[in-house]
Amino acid sequence: MADRDDTPLASTHLDDQMEDFEPEQKSGFLPIETNWFDRLFISVVIWIALSLFWFRFIEPLGLTIWISNAIALVLAIYIIRKG
């Protein structure tokens, strides 16, 4: 009986566990609070958008897609570290 009284409420116990799972939120230059996975996601979204834009408008001018990939990589590193 004593053991039962010492046991925390089930919901409290779960809340503690959820805190363990929640990744660290960060306030960088992005307008929303993000964790590292959010920033990776944003980087991939930008990479794909930039590649499609490059295919449509820049590549016909003679500039290779690898330049777009390099720009996207630099942007990704910047967003993941400072975003």
Contact residues: other proteins, CB under 8 A? 13, 17, 25, 27-28, 30-33, 41, 45, 48-49, 51-52, 55-56, 59, 65
Residue pair 54/68 in contact by the 8 Å Cβ criterion: yes
Spell out the residues 6+ positions from residue 61 whose beta carbon is closer than 8 angstroms to its own. none
Dihedral angle at the C-alpha atoms of 27, 33, 38, 42, nearest 10 degrees?
-80
- Residue 72 CB, shortest distance to other proteins, in Å, is 13
- Residue 77 CB, shortest distance to other proteins, in Å, is 20
- Of 4 and 56, nearer to other proteins (C-beta) is 56
